[in-house]
Amino acid sequence: MGRKTRMSNQAGAVGRRAFLGAAAAGAGILAMPHVAGAQAKVIRVGMPTTLSGRIAIMGSSSRVAVQYAFNRINEAGGMGGRKLELVERDTKGRPDEAAKITRDLINNDGCEIIIDGESSAGSFAVHEVIRDLPVLCLHTNSETSSLSADPKLHVKTAFRCARQGIHDAVAGGTYASTISKARGLKRWMTCSPDYAYGRDNTAEFLQFAKMFDPDIEVVDQVWPRLFAPDYTENITKALQVKPQAMYSALWGGDLVSFVEQTNLYRLFNNITFFSSSLGDPPVLTAIKQLPQGLHTAYRYNRTYPTRPENVAFADGYSGMAKHDPTNWAWQNFVAAGFIAEALKRTDGRTDATALAAELKGMKLPSPVAVDEVITMRESDHTIIGYPVAWGRTVPKAPFVEDFAPVDWGQIVELEAEWKKQKGYA
């Protein structure tokens, strides 16, 4: 984010004993057994990510989450005595730089595994590098569905450990249509960033919202450029069009700026607002006056899922980062867990093909799993079983309440139909 984000300091990192206790209760990577017969040298894991500029929170929270996970693994003896070492590099959010840095991490820094902490803009560039240099790669922040859904883009050693747009679209469409039917919200408008993720995410949300409520009519759409400094033109357009509801795929600092500028015009007094990204803790806490009753997808919340392991993760992470986990944090934390489990199963061998074989279909216990485990789906190398709930904003912590989950069975069923429509299946 290109603004200094005011974040709520959450007290208290869990101690070692509490940490290991949480692990035993099912937090996955919180305690990893030793791996027999592995070599003594460190296992270097490279991370190209954005550590400067307007979306620096993406990289910094991703880095802390992986380091938090690796610290716990290393404190418990590592992978058969081999320590995990994170090597991160700042891509400045540029796809060309992300590709270059990924090559350097593999060829010059000796990294045997890549955690791609880029947004969708950079992840596609990293993906093509992994096609040429087939080390194991986990994309941890990209949400553009085609990265893993399109079989033409498939790379045998690349996986996605992040939420994706089509899953959010089914959940969001289900949630929004229930509200639109109840309130008679027929006239809709959208305001989303003008690049692949923004347009794809918005189209997918509308597709399913209209599937569940055919009376929805999109009366206008505006497409501000990514990292736009001012949204007055878009807000003015909304005031002129007077929709009953608005959907936005803006995220990070862009969403903070949009909401704060919108507050000046009191736009939300007359529009029911739906956002796929507002639920991220750094966004919620950066908004000076968070309006009540805005609708948002789950990004991360220490109160949901309601289990002790989730609170332990939030406390442990915030003890390092001095703020609650972000959406990127939990995704990278889970990715570190998948990597550690795969290394355990290969006796510490970092051969990409061997690791990929273990990751396919892997069920990993996780503090944020909806039903105890998050699954790395074998068919398209992407995760399912993570939270896809929606809720409403409140001005004070926990900032989002009344989470309404959507059944994963329904999501998978409708995702399969969507893949057929797109020619992906």
Tens-place pLDDT, residues 86-141: 999 999 999 999 999 999 999 999 999 999 999 998 999 999 999 999 999 999 99
pLDDT of residue 328: 96
pLDDT of residue 40: 58
pLDDT in tens, 246-305: 999 999 889 999 999 999 999 999 999 999 999 999 999 999 999 999 999 999 999 999
Rounded CA-CA distance 1/290 in Å is 17
pLDDT in tens, 42-82: 999 999 999 998 789 999 999 999 999 999 999 999 998 89
Rounded CA-CA distance 179/321 in Å is 36
Q: Where are the alpha helices (DSSP H) in 213-301?
A: 232-241, 252-265, 281-286
Token couple for 213: 């409520």
Token couple for 392: 């409403």
- CA proximity to 388, closest of 259, 301, 309: 301
Token couple for 22: 């949480």
Stated length of the chain: 425
Which whole number is the average pLDDT over 331-344? 98
Percent of the chain with pLDDT over 70: 91
Q: What is the DSSP letter of 188?
A: E
